[in-house]
Structure 1
Amino acid sequence: MNLSERLRQKSLVLKDQFGIGLTRATDNRIHLDAAISWLKHAQDVTGNGGVAQTWLVRLNKWAPAYPETTGYIIPTLYRYATLTGDEDSRIRARRMADWEIEIQHPSGGVLAGALGDSDQPTVFNTGQVIFGWVRAFEEAGDERYREAAIRAANWLCDILDDDGCWRSWGSPMTGKQINTYNTRTAWSLARVHAITGERRFLDAAVRNGEWALTQAQPNGWLANNCLQDNQQPFTHTIAYAMRGLLEIGDYAQRGDLLDAARNIGDAMLDAMPANGRLPGRFNNRWRSTAHWSCLTGDCQLGINWGRLYQIIGESKYREATARILSFVKRTQRLDGGDPNTRGGIKGSHPINGGYHPWQYPNWATKFYADALMINEAIG
């Protein structure tokens, strides 16, 4: 690395640390339009219909298309199209859904990693693409999307252990075979139940939620819930697990699962400072173990609190969504000449933090857009 590049990177870190050049938070729609424009750009650079995994700041290049997150970006674009009337987002969402069918594994599952990383399916990625196929079917009525979702859901049910835990076909990218955050995968099975009425899918979703409860401490913290270090999970995976429990609990009318999700949400709310800058990792006493913020997890928790407000009605959850977004908004660059970063959300703040450092992962911007839209929906 030459001197000018070292100085550039040091400058980026210092600007984040001292708040130099941060965006002035403004109307949700301005931030949302910029985020969607970034996601469209991340799709365009691949040329195949999928969305590039991440913008690599240090390498100054895009990673290949990422099946997992392309799958759950589909509902985001449909949601945006419904909100704004943007037909281009609807067209792009269908291109993504079609691409996911083209690359679906013969087993019905979805490939691990970015395109080209693996030829094997994995549990979590499969669940996330199911969300896209289900929403595409609901929007377009094309039976191909329903059939793809059913094939994927059947594979997930076939490999689920009797106690509700997925112990095989975990991601080779993490090295961890047991993941409590697979409740978000289980939630996708509930979504397939919604378009099929097949009881098998809902039973499997609930069974995984019940297994997740066996991993909970009395304070609500979940074991086996991180990509890297189960002793101090990211807010990203904490939020994944919470959302799965929340949505399965709401759909299946299971108060115990809803209560577990609420316990997590309350713990995270209690830990959030007044400025909304939540630390990126937490140990089993709900104490932070990081000084940087995981922007992806921030956005996901904003969504989760918004959903708690919609389900339970307590104003503290609506206020929490607004507070955490007030921080994340300030980290989004709304202007500047680089389309690879303009409108996107970093993995961490500062940019060299411990979650996807020096990157703009597409799912950070996806969840940011979702958080902005739910913030609008709840007022």
Structure 2
Amino acid sequence: MDWLLTSIRINGGAGSSAYYQLLKGWSLPYPETTGYIIPTLLDYHDYLEERPLFEAAESCARWLVDIQREDGSFPAGLGGRGEPVVFDTAMILFGLTAIHQRTGETGYREAVQKAIGWLLRQLGPEHRWTAFAYVPGYEPAYYTMVVWAILQAGRIVEQHGLKEKMARIMDRYRQWINPDSSVANWGFHPDSPALTHTIGYTWQGFLESALILEDKKLIGGCLEAGMKMVEIHQKKGRLAGTYDQNWNGNYAFKCLTGQAQFALFLRRLAEISGEKVFKTVSMEWIEDLGRYPSKLPMPGAKGGMAGSSPVWGPYQRFKYLNWAAKFYLDAVLERPAVQQSSIM
């Protein structure tokens, strides 16, 4: 948590730097991940009762409102200067929704309303998001997170027919789920192996959206996916960094962000189903992650969570990521009897 707070302080509270890169230093702040870091800061404020965590969340939220574009979108990329992307704008909804729920400030709700409006206007034929994409024309399965973000934000704004529209989109995404719980288009690029990071996004979005929509069939599909993850863990003893559509993994590295997301997904399934194996495997992954916060003495690295293990692995090489820290902290907070030494 100290590392994450430092990533905000170095920007004067105006967002969280995306990463610290060895030999190069801190990046500019990243609007997308700053958005979904805000709920983590608020959750830890509640747990630790430390006011600076709430203040950091507020300063990040104010910065996001300041950089919102007139059309309701948010700039993508580092520094708040790029053209908008559907996924990035949606992830910011998590933070602005959470801060509004805590403060009641109308400015945050208005920003959420504008962002939802922009996202809905980008829906093309058959309710598809293909414009303003990371890869032009490609709609990835991890847009299930976009649906979840909109459904979550819909709790603080009035938008007629919003749940029904999101349910139609989710009906289309569920058709991409294969019998073995792999999912078409679940990576950053079409027809390429997917990082556990984007697989984690995909299944977390399916599950949380299904819970809001009270979609029992889709919840059942999530339980099947969880069992597949357990099966892989029991067979291999660890997670790969990437998987192809047949669950063939690249075990030469770990994607630490993805492992934290997988742990969170199984933890939620344990809460829903009562299946002990989900909790057991989730805990094993979390305990394993506890070995990876950096012990290097430089301030930008110490306590940070790398993109890959080893740190020179292919995902975000030599970088300590704010989103890796976020998902690790979320996973640790879900663990019973959290030890403060593991988070500060």
TM interval, shorter chain, is: over 0.9
Partner of 1:345: 305
User: What does residue range 207-218 of structure 1 map to in structure 2 within 5 Å?
Assistant: 207-218=168-179
Q: In structure 1, what residue type is equivalent to 2:106?
A: E
Is residue 148 from structure 1 mapped to residue 108 from structure 2 by the alignment? no
Alpha-carbon distance, 1:213 to partner: 1.1
Alpha-carbon distance, 1:76 to partner: 0.1
The runs of 5 or more residues in structure 1 that have no matched partner are 1-35
Partner of 1:29: none
Between the aligned partners of 2:25 and 2:234, the Cα distance in structure 1 is 35
Is residue 357 from structure 1 mapped to residue 317 from structure 2 by the alignment? yes
Alpha-carbon distance, 1:376 to partner: 2.8
Is residue 93 from structure 1 mapped to residue 93 from structure 2 by the alignment? no
Alpha-carbon distance, 1:216 to partner: 1.8
Q: Indicate the SS of the match to 1:215.
A: coil
Partner of 1:158: 121
Between the aligned partners of 1:275 and 1:96, the Cα distance in structure 2 is 40
Is residue 189 from structure 1 mapped to residue 154 from structure 2 by the alignment? no
Between the aligned partners of 1:160 and 1:148, the Cα distance in structure 2 is 19
Q: More relative contact order in 1 or in 2 (CA 8 Å, sep 6+)? A: 1
Cα pair 2:13 2:56 within 8 Å, conserved: no
User: What does residue range 6-85 of structure 1 map to in structure 2 within 5 Å?
Assistant: 36-57=1-22, 59-85=23-49
Cα pair 1:112 1:125 within 8 Å, conserved: yes
Runs of 4+ in 1 over 6 A off after TM superposition: none
Give me the CA root mean square deviation: 2.0
Aligned match of 1:126 in 86, 89, 96?
A: 89
Compute the TM-score of the two structures, normalised by the length of structure 1.
0.85
Name the CA shift for 1:363/1:371 in 2 (closer, same or farther; >3 Å). same
Partner of 1:326: 287
Shifted more, 149-158 versus 358-367: the winner is: 149-158
Compute the TM-score of the two structures, normalised by the length of structure 2.
0.93
Alpha-carbon distance, 1:175 to partner: 4.8
Instruction: State how many pairs are aligned.
Output: 339
Write the deviation string for residues 97-128 of structure 1: whole angstroms up to 9, x where unpaired: 1100000122111212111551x211000110
The runs of 5 or more residues in structure 2 that have no matched partner are 340-344
Partner of 1:270: 231
Is residue 252 from structure 1 mapped to residue 216 from structure 2 by the alignment? no
Name the CA shift for 1:135/1:37 in 2 (closer, same or farther; >3 Å). same
Name the CA shift for 1:277/1:343 in 2 (closer, same or farther; >3 Å). farther
Between the aligned partners of 1:369 and 1:199, the Cα distance in structure 2 is 35
